[in-house]
Amino acid sequence: MNIVVGVDIGGTKTKVGLVTKEGDCLKDTWFRTREYPDFDQYLDKLVEAIKILVNEYPEDLNVLGVGIGAPNASSRNGTIENASNLKWKGSVPILKKMRKRFEVPMKLMNDASVAALGEMLFGNAKGMKDFIVVTLGTGFGAGIVANGQLIDGYDGFAGELGHVDMTLGDGRLTGLGVKGGLEAYVSATGLKRTILYMMSMYMDESRFRSIAYSDLHGEDITRAAEEGDPIALKAFDYTADILAKALANFTAFSQPEAFFLLGGLIGSGKWITEPLKKYFEDYLLEVYKGKVKLMYSGMKGKTAAICGAAALIWEDHQ
Amino acid sequence: MNIVVGVDIGGTKTKVGLVTKEGDCLKDTWFRTREYPDFDQYLDKLVEAIKILVNEYPEDLNVLGVGIGAPNASSRNGTIENASNLKWKGSVPILKKMRKRFEVPMKLMNDASVAALGEMLFGNAKGMKDFIVVTLGTGFGAGIVANGQLIDGYDGFAGELGHVDMTLGDGRLTGLGVKGGLEAYVSATGLKRTILYMMSMYMDESRFRSIAYSDLHGEDITRAAEEGDPIALKAFDYTADILAKALANFTAFSQPEAFFLLGGLIGSGKWITEPLKKYFEDYLLEVYKGKVKLMYSGMKGKTAAICGAAALIWEDHQ
């Protein structure tokens, strides 16, 4: 049976899985990325994990290739560059080093683009030629598809939409030092910052008055909204408003047919999505109104990133 | 000899020309768009102009097709929709009607995308796969190329970057009612608005204190800057700063190799381009610094739009 190995390199875990042409993950495994601060030892571990998965599978497998998704990956250079959530510093030539260890076709791409590719091949974007996947986790990531192709940019760093300045330079700082950058508002972290902001602006009573910032988690904010906490409700409304403006801006760029929203912030459910839908239609230019869908991912939770990475190879075998 | 007819439909003039495979315009003509408020009469005039050009040319010509660039054109629908600078209201099915009058292949695309295509086939973007053409005239237009293809969007309205909100909704109104929209700042009109703003903010002496807004022209502002007028200098600096932020934002989207800048505002020369270059490098994310060029168009002035429109057909004959 033909199979593709999908690898998702995250700051905490590295996930590996065997993915069929239909996008099913037959078997998967993982190990802790942080336990291998030496990059060569990390790759040895990764190749070992792949080999064990393939060799121990009860059927004979023909590995068509390995697809790898990673933060700050350049598909053009085959490198991971200055990833703030990974231990390896500078530019890491992962494809070159992997090819010395394992002789099958290999491809690398940044994780948000991989999510978009997975959605197109296996998820809810099947048949769509123009869409954007937005991941709202610790940060704000985006994978952009236009004309049925991923937009990767001149050397593979397209889609850094979390660092778009929404305020003419007069706003919150992102982790990369962009003043007014989107991710400082619209992300799990941004929502926490907005809780502080709302408590500074309004004197409403709130459970958050007695919780320190470092003890604050996204789920607490969702629970507080369910209990009617006015600060939580204001924070969700404010976040949805800015996300709606951002998506309306992105629409003016590539006019996608749909946005797919994923990540922890979207896990808050209606508290973010209901105001988002309302504001989004309001902010769209007339020529776009009623034409752009806000959708959820069709990828299965735990192995979504593995299947997306495998799509890098499967797209050449369609 | 094989030839393509390029048509540029503008608010004032309609330009028609015969364009060779090399992008040379052998002969061109024009008529006033506004003299034909009836759309069928307009098309009759357009077809007549094309036929006269072709028939009166001294050599035998084989017309491969007609490429048409127009404001608010949808390539997918073959229509011009609600163009604010044209007399024809609603959605005008130009391709369908043209095909009844003239039996050759025809294509339609919005004027900024056509400019990008022209730059790619005949201008300074030859060989580039990722670039953005920005036209800074009365408004702010953009034609975006990624992976060597124009980004046209779900139904042909990608690239409306003049209506991206740069201010979280707390700024100037564009003509389409977008609060904080880019074109309200960065365009020939935006520059004039900034002259007023600077006179409201500062008490510097300026020639503009005795000129009414409606009498103000872009060239006057350039001349004033050359004479050291402090209001003109502040206005250019402010405009360049916002344009730099916008281009840095767009870079985060599709990571182009280059921006091509054209239009009246760029005609102001160093007053806009020198501060722009400085601010732009400052605003770029680290991962993009030193990789994105700011360039000028390589298309010859008067017939640039005609040759761009012809590229719509020539791109199928490469």
Residues 171-190 of B with CB under 8 A from A: 171, 176, 178, 180
The three-class DSSP label of residue B135 is: strand
One domain for residues A105 and A205? no
Q: Average pLDDT, stretch A177-203?
A: 93
- Name the phi and psi angles at A110, rounded to 5: -70, 155
One domain for residues A287 and A306? no
Q: Average pLDDT, stretch A208-229?
A: 94
Residues 34-93 of A with CB under 8 A from B: 72, 81-82
Say how many residues make up chain B.
Answer: 318
Interface-testing mutation among B285, B286, B288, B293, with chain A (most A C-beta atoms within 10 A): B285
The identity of residue A268, as a single letter, is S
B153: nearest CA partner in chain A: A255
One domain for residues B14 and B152? no
Residues 98-137 of A with CB under 8 A from B: 129-130
Interface-testing mutation among A255, A289, A292, with chain B (most B C-beta atoms within 10 A): A255
- Name the phi and psi angles at B206, rounded to 5: -160, 145
Distant-in-sequence, close-in-space partners of A131: CB < 8 Å, separation ≥ 6: A116, A119, A120, A125, A145, A256, A257, A258, A259, A260
Tell whether A1 is within 8 A of chain B (Cβ).
no
Give helix A188-201 / helix A230-254 axis angle, nearest 10°. Answer: 130
- Name the phi and psi angles at A102, rounded to 5: -155, 115
Per-residue HEC secondary structure of chain A comes to: CEEEEEEEECCCEEEEEEECCCCCEEEEEEEEHHHCCCHHHHHHHHHHHHHHHHHCCCCCCEEEEEEEEECCEECCCCEEECCCCCCCCCEECHHHHHHHHCCCCEEEEEHHHHHHHHHHHHCCCCCCCCEEEEEECCCEEEEEEECCEECCCCCCCCCCHHHCECECCCCCECCCCCECEHHHCCCHHHHHHHHHHHHHHCCCCCHHHHCCHHHCCHHHHHHHHHCCCHHHHHHHHHHHHHHHHHHHHHHHHHCCCEEEEECHHHHHCHHHHHHHHHHHHHHCCHHHCCCCEEEECCCCCCCHHHHHHHHHHHHHHC
| Strand order from edge to edge, sheet including A258-262 | A149-150, A140-146, A131-136, A258-262, A293-296
Beta-carbon separation of B245 and A165 below 8 A? yes
Cβ atoms of B262 and B143 within 8 Å: the answer is no
Beta-carbon separation of B158 and A253 below 8 A? yes
CA distance A252 to chain B (A): 5
pLDDT bucket at B301, cuts 50 / 70 / 90: confident
* CA dist., res. B118 & res. B304, Å (int): 8
Q: Average pLDDT, stretch B240-264?
A: 95
* CA dist., res. B279 & res. B283, Å (int): 6
Provide, as residue numbers in chain B, all residues whose Cβ is less than 8 Å from the Cβ of A248: 165
Residues 240-259 of B with CB under 8 A from A: 242, 245, 248-250, 252-257
Q: Is the pLDDT of residue B164 over 80?
A: yes
Partner residue facing B153 (CB), from A130, A171, A286: A130
One domain for residues B289 and B143? yes
Beta-carbon separation of A167 and B167 below 8 A? yes
One domain for residues A212 and A275? yes
Q: Average pLDDT, stretch A44-61?
A: 96
The percent of residues in chain B predicted with pLDDT above 70, rounded, is 100
Q: Is the pLDDT of residue A84 over 80?
A: no
* CA dist., res. A178 & res. A173, Å (int): 5
pLDDT tens digits, residue range A107-140?
Answer: 999 989 999 999 999 999 999 999 999 998 878 9
Tell whether A12 is within 8 A of chain B (Cβ).
no
Partner residue facing A254 (CB), from B153, B166, B283: B153
Of B220, B217, B297, B225, the C-alpha closest to B260 is B297
Q: What is the pLDDT, as a whole number, of residue B53?
A: 96
pLDDT tens digits, residue range A269-291?
Answer: 999 999 999 999 999 998 899 99
Q: What is the pLDDT, as a whole number, of residue A108?
A: 96
Cβ atoms of A228 and A150 within 8 Å: the answer is no
Give the least confident one: A167-176, A207-216, B23-32: A167-176
Tally the domains of chain A. Answer: 2
A129: nearest CA partner in chain B: B154
One domain for residues A292 and A159? yes
One domain for residues A116 and A149? no
Q: Is the pLDDT of residue A236 over 90?
A: yes
**Strand B25-32 versus strand B13-19 pairing type:** antiparallel
Token pair for A113 = 């683009």
Distant-in-sequence, close-in-space partners of B309: CB < 8 Å, separation ≥ 6: B6, B7, B8, B67, B68, B69, B109, B114, B118
Tell whether B315 is within 8 A of chain A (Cβ).
no
Say how many residues make up chain A.
Answer: 318
Provide, as residue numbers in chain A, all residues whose Cβ is less than 8 Å from the Cβ of B254: 144, 151, 153, 158, 253-254
Q: Is the pLDDT of residue B17 over 90?
A: yes
One domain for residues B44 and B137? no
One domain for residues A235 and A193? yes
Q: Rounded to 10 degrees, what is the CA torsion of B77, B78, B81, B83?
A: 150
One domain for residues B150 and B23? no
Provide, as residue numbers in chain B, all residues whose Cβ is less than 8 Å from the Cβ of A81: 287
Distant-in-sequence, close-in-space partners of B83: CB < 8 Å, separation ≥ 6: B11, B70, B71, B72
The number of C-beta contacts closer than 8 angstroms across A and B is 148
Residue A212's CB is within 10 A of a number of other CB atoms, namely 7
Partner residue facing A147 (CB), from B82, B149, B167: B149
Partner residue facing B254 (CB), from A158, A163, A292: A158
Tell me the CATH number at B42.
3.30.420.40
- Can you give the residue range of the structural domain that contains A256? 131-296
Q: What is the pLDDT, as a whole number, of residue B309?
A: 97
One domain for residues B286 and B220? yes
Provide, as residue numbers in chain B, all residues whose Cβ is less than 8 Å from the Cβ of A149: 146-147, 149
Q: What is the pTM of this model?
A: 0.89
Q: What is the pLDDT, as a whole number, of residue B156?
A: 86
Partner residue facing A252 (CB), from B150, B161, B167: B161
One domain for residues A260 and A218? yes
Tell whether A294 is within 8 A of chain B (Cβ).
no
Tell whether A143 is within 8 A of chain B (Cβ).
no
The percent of residues in chain A predicted with pLDDT above 70, rounded, is 100
Strands (E), chain B: 2-9, 13-19, 25-32, 62-70, 73-74, 79-81, 91-92, 106-110, 131-136, 140-146, 149-150, 258-262, 293-296
- This complex has an ipTM of 0.86
Q: What is the pLDDT, as a whole number, of residue A267?
A: 87
Beta-carbon separation of A151 and B254 below 8 A? yes
The three-class DSSP label of residue B170 is: coil
